[in-house]
Structure formats: structure tokens, C-alpha cells
Amino acid sequence: MTTVLTADQTAVTASEKVLARLKPGAAGARGSLTVHDPFDGSPLIDVPDHDAEQAIDAVVRADEAGRAWAATTPRHRADVLRRWYELLVANAEDIALLITREMGKPLAEAHAEVTYGSDFVRWYAEEAVRPAGNLREVPTGGARLFTRRAPIGLSVLITPWNFPLAMATRKIAPALAAGCPAVVKPAALTPLTTLFAVQLAVEAGVPADLVHVVTTSDASGFSTAVLADPRVRKVSFTGSTGVGKVLLRLAADNVLKSSMELGGNAPLLVFDDADLDRAVDGAVAAKLRNGGQSCIAANRILVQDGIADAFTEALAERLASVRLGSGLAPGVQLGPVIDDRAVARLSGLVEDATQRGAKLLTGGSAPQGPGTFFEATVLDEVPADADVVTTEIFGPIASVQRFSTEAEAVARANDTEFGLAGYVFTQDLDRAFNVADRLATGLVGINQGVPSNAAAPFGGVKQSGLGREGSGEGLEEYQEIRFYNLALRPTD
């Protein structure tokens, strides 16, 4: 019987003090939303449940504040972002506690998210003052072309529940650096971290009306209303491909610049010449980070025949020893999944796979008792038509398939409509780059399981999305290019 570790009461008490610091605002017209702790379902705090009319009011106020912000200097914006970064770092412990309470991940992982999320603010504090634009000569002579980048305008930022700080800062920071106001809609399940982060941004000098956080249970009503408003010029969304397509249709009517970071079905390829320990470590990181509730989580682990038995045995041994429990429990490695629906979906994936012939090596069920937990699971020799292969798992299930040749591995890895992330484990440098180049994904981790970085352009291909977040490319998503044609007087 799987033991579920309970929360450390000292950490619980500390998190209650953080909740008391939150200023969620007055209740909306429809009342309020209650945020729950996924460890045991207990209520944490109520936040406003805003309606479409209030969302439009946020658009109006942010747009008005944005005119003055767009006129500020890049240095001013950079200095404000730097102060925000410093406040995030100074409040790292409180933010981590908040992430764990509302989302469930272990406190150590929450601290890692604070570092990752804060890095986006620091990066764009630096990126804001880097030069953009250039001078070009007209090929036929007689004129010069000046290009510059200008803020795109009011940006609607819709974030998911799985990384409540990082997904917010990854969007808000470049918007502010570019000179844009923003209306942010966090997921109804995990709005508290975003509220607190924006609270700190205001303390750092971000004008109070420049970034509005709209909490609501009516995501569809929010999107329909705000994306139709002519003041809105940009939408950025992280979430499922299905919802992303709906938002793109809405954005089309207003011709909005759109960034979509959508679903994934990441392949993780382990070749015979891979370092076994390194490959297992990478697979565990790529699978269990955030409890597998990540769009870049390893969804299909493809292992070459010669190393397959040793790899799956080692992987099963590692996952069998994973400690489940409250994210505030000392030594816990796997927290709860986000809700009861996730537990039911994961149970269904395991049942479908085993009925089709997959071998269950460890885990596979939900422990009895309170909370929405699911055991770390390894399925071996999973058939290609199993649901766990064809759909995004979003949970702690490692699905292992076997292959014989490099060509077969690449073909199977690309046999999906998604193309966000991929992973390659091999000690052959030529193979590493050759396979990475042939994977139809936006990013590839080579001999590592956590490839994301604020300095890198994060995003997918195919039905995994449009645009990039992070790096210099992430700033360009909130800018438009303008050019001036300067005629030159002919020389004598």
C-alpha cells in the first residue's frame, strides 16, 4: 500500500501568513471563486469571480495606463523590471509556499519554479535596453530605410495552472519591456501566485492599472469579450491545442498578433550507446518534473533494443521508490495531480494500455485516502495505438516503447500532430545532432531532461503552437516593425 506523506505543520503555518498578504480585490458581480489545496481539497482563499463587463473595464484601464508606459524610456522600464526581479527573489520562500499550496508540487520544485520564473523578469530587464532596428540602403540608391520596433499595444495573456509563476512572468515581463499594458487571466485553479507576483510588480514601480489580473470561472466569456475589443492588439495563450484553436478563431476577427504555446506529445529517444545512468536521470526529470504535468514532459519513451531491458529495469526501480505526499512534506518527490478528473484520466490510460498488452512494471493506481494522487508508473512494451501513446498524458506515467533502428525511431517520434519538445540520449555527437535536426519539434534536449531556459526561444511547431517565448524572440512577440523611407538629395 502506497504511503502518502502529510504536510509539515510549520510550513503550513508559514503559507497561511503568505495567504494573508494577498490582496485579491473585491468580489465580482457573480460572487467569488474558492481556490483549493489539491493535497486534501481544503479551501485556501476566495478570489473575485469577474464577469465579462469587468474584464472589459480592465481592458479600458490598462489601455489608458499603457499610453504613458509606452512613452517611457527603455532604461526606465528596465529599472522597474529589475526591481520586480529583486522583489521576487526576496520573496522566494513565500512564493514557493504559495505555489505548493495552490498547485501541489513539492516545495523544492516550487523553489525551482521561482528561480525559473524570476529569470524571465531579469532577462527582459536586460533585453529592454538592447538595441533594435537598423539602417538599410535602398538597393537602387537615393534613400535610406530606417527600421524600429514599437510596442504592439494592449496584450491579453492567458496562463495555465501548472506553472503559475513562470507562465505569468514569461508573458508579463516581455510585454512590459516592450512598452505594452496587459490583462492577465490566470487559470481558475491556481490564480494566487499570479496575483501575488503582480502585487510585487506594483511595489516595484509598475503602474497599478498597467497590469490587470482578471480571475474568473467563465474563461469562454472572458475570451469572447476581450478579444473582440478593438483596444486589444495581442493575445498570448498557454494551454491545450483545442482551446488554442478557439482563441485563434476569435483573434482572427480582430486581426490580433497571436502567440500560442499548445499541447505536446514529446518523444524521448534512448539509443544503445547512451550513458545508462544519464539517460535514466534525464528520463526521470523529463517525466516527473511537475508530476508530469508539463507540456514538454516525456510522453513517449522510445528505447533501442540493446539497452531497453536495462533502461526499463532501472527506470522502474527509480519510480517505484518515489515518495508521494503533500508538497509541504519533507522529502516528498511527487505531489498530487491537479484534480479528480486528472486521477480518473490517468487510471483510464493505464487500464487501456494494459488491456492492449502493455506490461505494468510499477505503480498504476491512485492511493486510497484524501487528495488527488497517482502513483509514479512505468508501462513497458506499450503498443503504438494505446491512448497513453497518442494523447498527452499530463501525469506521472512513463510509457516505454522499443525500436531497432535510428530511422525507425525518428519516424515514430514524428508520428504525431504535435511538435513541441523532444529528447535524445546518445554519446555519438553526429547522431545527437542528426536526430535532433530530423525531429519535428520546436526544442530538443540532448542528454538532458530539462531544456527550458529564459535565454532560449520556447515554442512548438505543427499543432503545438505559434510564436516563441523567452530570449530576444520573445520580446519581438510584443513589438511591431515600422520603417521610415528617407529620401536623399542628389549629390552635385
DSSP line for 50-62: --HHHHHHHHHHH
On whether the CB atoms of residues 121 and 169 are closer than 8 A, the answer is yes
* Segment 100-157, tens digit of pLDDT: 999 999 999 999 999 999 999 999 999 999 978 899 999 999 999 999 999 999 999 9
pLDDT score at 131:
76
**Closest Cα to residue 79, out of 170, 153, 176?**
176
Question: Could you tell me which residues come within 8 angstroms of residue 152 by beta carbon, excluding any fewer than 6 positions away?
Answer: 178, 180, 233, 234, 257, 478, 479, 480
Average pLDDT over residues 412-423: 98
Is residue 295 among the annotated active site residues? yes
pLDDT score at 490:
84
Cα–Cα distance list, 385 to 222, 352, 378, 400, 416 (Å): 37, 10, 17, 13, 12
- What is this structure's pTM? 0.96
* Segment 319-347, tens digit of pLDDT: 999 999 999 999 999 999 999 999 999 99
CA distance 112 to 116: 6
* Segment 197-220, tens digit of pLDDT: 999 999 999 999 999 999 999 999
Predicted confidence band at 23 (pLDDT cuts at 50, 70, 90)?
Answer: confident
CA distance 307 to 271: 7
* Segment 454-470, tens digit of pLDDT: 999 999 999 999 999 99
In the β-sheet with 182-185, what is the strand arrangement from edge to edge? 211-213, 182-185, 154-158, 232-238, 257-261, 465-466
Predicted confidence band at 406 (pLDDT cuts at 50, 70, 90)?
Answer: very high
Residues β-bridged to residue 34: 46
DSSP line for 300-342: EEEEEHHHHHHHHHHHHHHHHTPPEE-TTSTT--B---SSHHH
pLDDT score at 458:
97
Helix or strand run (H / E) with residue 94: helix 92-103
Grid cell 485579491 is found at 24
- CA 126 distance to own-chain centroid: 22
**Closest Cα to residue 265, out of 245, 308, 294?**
294
Predicted confidence band at 178 (pLDDT cuts at 50, 70, 90)?
Answer: very high
Is residue 406 among the annotated active site residues? no
Average pLDDT over residues 372-383: 97
Predicted confidence band at 448 (pLDDT cuts at 50, 70, 90)?
Answer: very high
* Segment 65-77, tens digit of pLDDT: 999 999 999 999 9
Average pLDDT over residues 154-171: 98
pLDDT score at 335:
96
Predicted confidence band at 26 (pLDDT cuts at 50, 70, 90)?
Answer: low
Which of 261, 375, 392, 477 is catalytic? The answer is 261
Which of 295, 392, 476, 477 is catalytic? The answer is 295
